[in-house]
């Protein structure tokens, strides 16, 4: 079984591990999410560390799979006696990727490298390398593929089985691309939102080419539970949006911080709409969307961003 463990407080993942008793644990990243509930980044590290502390030792078959690109996650390696399996974009990892290219709506292409565990008495290092294409959108999705491959390798799957599974993963799960109103295309990424995931979505929008002279449009809402990082997080998104979009629509009081920062760094006022509710946004977009527009909808579900996306579907 594969289980996702979330937390709003210290001790919760410990309790979940008591029930589930995982032998493999994956820590993906440490970011400023749920800060209003967790209080600090340090508490987030402690909470996720409960998973690593609960794993069996290496001798008992425990494996900790860690994102070696995240400094805080690297530091968490000291919390476990399980075998470490590191993944990322650097050859310092056990499994890494390079030559990453966007392939538009077809996904991404990259090259896997896997360093086999050292064999007793062997003086030689064995590294497998292979090129793959997977139907996951956005360059940031390479970490998704790396995580899945890491688990597969730990569980004894062959490269043929791993690549076949990755290439058959047609469902984007939390990110969906749909035909939109007035011959537009909608990128619905409204499951949830943080500054890092929103910037990744904007990077995806930047990689994709609108058809027939259309525009890149971003509809961005409040990002919730950021605590003391709220203002800076929204400003970071605003700066990236200004580099990517021809039309920016923000929803909510926090969303307006995105708009204000985009304006401050040079996005023309005529290209920015600051709205209070998702109902206003739907009405505006139904009038403004032009043929060929590529529309990213991103923000917390709690402010109705999923409703905005659904109303833009053809």
**Residue 204 burial (CB count, 10 A):** 22
Instruction: Collapse the DSSP code of 95 into the 3-class scheme (helix H, G, I; strand E, B; otherwise coil) and give the result.
Output: strand
Strand partners, 188: 176, 297
**Burial class (CB within 10 angstroms; exposed 0-12, middle 13-18, buried 19+) of 169:** middle
Domains of the chain (ranges, CATH numbers): 12-167 (3.40.1190.10), 176-312 (3.90.190.20)
Specify whether the CB–CB gap between 87 and 146 falls below 8 A.
yes
Q: 123 with 133: CB under 8 angstroms?
A: no
pLDDT in tens, the chain (314 residues): 899 998 888 999 999 999 999 999 999 999 887 777 888 999 999 999 999 999 999 999 999 999 999 999 999 999 999 999 999 999 999 999 999 998 888 889 999 999 988 777 777 788 999 999 998 888 889 999 999 999 999 999 999 999 999 988 655 557 889 999 999 999 999 988 899 999 999 999 999 989 888 999 999 999 988 888 899 999 999 999 999 999 999 999 999 999 999 999 999 999 999 999 999 999 999 999 999 999 999 987 778 899 999 999 97
pTM value is 0.85
Residue 236 and residue 199 in contact, taking contact as beta carbons nearer than 8 Å: yes
């Amino acid at each position: 079984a594969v289980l996702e463990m979330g937390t709003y407080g210290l001790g919760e993942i410990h309790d979940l591990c008591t029930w589930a008793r995982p032998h493999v644990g994956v820590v993906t990243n440490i970011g400023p999410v749920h800060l209003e509930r967790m209080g600090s980044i340090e508490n987030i590290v402690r909470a996720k560390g409960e998973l690593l502390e609960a794993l069996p030792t290496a001798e008992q078959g425990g494996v900790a799979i860690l994102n070696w690109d995240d400094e805080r996650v690297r530091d968490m390696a000291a919390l476990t006696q399980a075998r470490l399996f590191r993944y990322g974009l650097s050859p310092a990892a056990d499994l890494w990727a390079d030559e990453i290219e966007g392939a538009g709506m077809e996904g991404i292409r990259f090259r896997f490298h896997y360093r086999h565990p050292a064999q007793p008495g062997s003086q030689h290092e064995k590294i497998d390398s292979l090129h793959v294409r997977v139907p996951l959108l956005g360059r940031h999705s390479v970490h998704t593929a790396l995580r899945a491959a890491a688990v597969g390798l730990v569980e004894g799957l062959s490269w043929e089985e791993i690549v076949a599974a990755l290439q058959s993963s047609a469902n984007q799960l939390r990110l969906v691309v749909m035909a939109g109103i007035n011959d537009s295309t909608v990128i619905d990424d409204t499951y949830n939102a943080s500054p890092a995931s929103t910037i990744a979505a904007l990077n995806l929008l930047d990689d994709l080419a609108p058809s027939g002279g259309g525009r890149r449009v971003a509809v961005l809402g409040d990002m919730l539970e950021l605590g003391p990082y709220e203002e800076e997080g929204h400003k970071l998104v605003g700066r990236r949006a200004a580099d990517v979009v021809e039309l920016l629509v923000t929803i909510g009081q926090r969303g307006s911080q995105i708009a204000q920062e985009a304006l401050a760094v040079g996005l023309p006022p005529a290209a920015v709409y600051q709205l209070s509710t998702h109902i206003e946004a739907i009405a505006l977009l139904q009038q403004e969307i032009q043929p060929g527009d590529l529309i990213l909808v991103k923000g917390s579900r709690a402010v109705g961003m999923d409703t905005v996306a659904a109303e833009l579907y053809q």
